[in-house]
Amino acid sequence: MNALTLASFVFFTALVAFITWRMTRHDDYRQSGSYFLAGRSLTFPIIAGSLLMTNLSTEQMVGLNGAAFTDGLSVMAWEVIAVVTLVTMAMFFLPRFLKSGVTTVPELLALRFDRTTQLLANIIFVVAYAAILLPSILYSGALGLMGLLDLQTLTGIESNAVLLVLTIVAVGVGGAIYALFGGLRSIAISDTINGVGLLIGGLMIVYFGLNAISDGQGILAGWDTLKTSHPEKLRSWGTENQSVPFSTIFTGVLLLNMFYWCTNQQIIQRTFAAKTLAEGQKGVLLTGLLKLLGPLYLVLPGIIAFHMYVGEGVKADAAYGQLVHDVLPAPLTGFFAAAMVGAILSSFNSALNSTATLFSLDVYKARLKPNATDAQVVRASKWSGWLMAIAAMSIAPLMASQESLFVYVQKVNSLYYVPLLSVILVGFLTRRVPAIAANLALVLGCVIIAAFYFVPPLASVVDIVSNFHFIAIVMVLLVLMMLVIGKVTPRAEPWVQQDAGAIDMTPWSKAWPASIALLVLVVAIYLAFI
């Protein structure tokens, strides 16, 4: 069985690599516009596929299903509320980003505020990606593959710690080679292919899992078994003792999703590469539609795993890999493992590509060597990417000490999500708030949240009010501070956003009807599982 699984895994992985190579073999990656923004040529299916796959890392597959193993359906908020923020991205943020023709979020902050704001945002992004995002992708990916392919049996390595480190290094090196030599277009195309595979594979897990718990009586019988055995696991409204209480949907959960889908360089870089505004809006809204399927393959398998393994000592974050290994036939396990590796590499590639982009354009080109050629900028990007990859591989094994990877990652992400989101929102919505206000908000926001997370007397306050409510309070305080500074010491001249003329800015004619339909579906899903 292991040989068949491994053979199908190698076949499907090689097939994706071959198709991607065939489609991108004539691309010129010596030009920074082609390397970082795919020549601004992406159409809506590629944008949607790349957005979905960048998001669908094993942090999601393993971590969110692990959270569902513990808390049930209420953790679907991370998927369903994302649709609200994707609508916001399509209708508010994207037109403003594309109008300025920027490659990075800090580049826009330099236009709106000053170069110090740009530098601070760059430092925050790069450090956060290297210390939090990239390691979490590598750790969760290695954990998922170890369970999925039964690597302990396959390799004969008995030590889990040793096997974890070796798997992390293998994924990290492979992903770095892929990301740093291919450019954004090759990442986007492979993402789209893998996205189809992962959606099919994820739905297969649900089918075989429900069939397994009904003893072969079919998926409807399996669903009835879950409803009868664990009705408390199938409620959309989280209680106060769960990881996503219902009240937090309107505060921290919404804000974290807002940053992630609207201002996170790793995610939105592919929307900057849209051929037109209309293509970008269609791609973002199609992603929203696909996210509505998220609870099926990112939450339901965790509940199925709970039913199958409760009382057996299976750790929440290991449940998904165990489920896939147990219910899928060997050839399909290999296929799904290939799609899962695609998800790992996709998220790792995108984060690494974005980190290298931020350094090479906003630090190397903007500050260290302003007269650098395109070839030199691309070369600097590759070198910085390798350094980030090595740092991430070194940090990733340390995450094994966390009880819930997904909850931990969401918490530490708010260290930089909230300050950056507050500055970007104030930048777009006001004209006279000066750069000093934005710079203070970036520094104070990170310091305040870190103090309340890691200084014991202050940490108790966060526990009392809930982490998600706490970050919403910090967000409000940062925005108020910037507005007050804007009143007391406003800019000499109001900021006016200039149209860079980079692409056609005609909006998609059906954007508003599509947005309203998506929001109605979000409400309907919540009401269906009260």
Total length of the chain: 530
Residue 46: predicted pLDDT: 85
Instruction: Output b/e per residue, 63-102; b: 16+ Cβ within 10 A.
Output: bbbbbbbbbbbbbbbbbbbbbbbbbbbbbebbbebbbbbb
Residue 402: predicted pLDDT: 67
Residue 148: predicted pLDDT: 67
- H-helix or E-strand spanning residue 494: none
**d(C-alpha 455, C-alpha 33), whole Å:** 44
Q: What is the DSSP letter of 412?
A: H
Residue 104: predicted pLDDT: 84
For the chain, 530 residues long, the average pLDDT of each consecutive 10-residue run is: 64 71 59 51 84 73 85 92 96 94 88 93 87 84 75 79 89 73 61 73 90 90 92 88 88 91 86 91 95 90 92 81 84 75 72 78 78 79 83 86 69 87 95 96 94 87 85 95 96 91 92 97 92
**d(C-alpha 380, C-alpha 357), whole Å:** 9
Neighbours of 235 (CB within 10 A): 16
Neighbours of 358 (CB within 10 A): 30
Give rounded-to-5 percent helix, strand, coil for the chain.
80, 0, 20
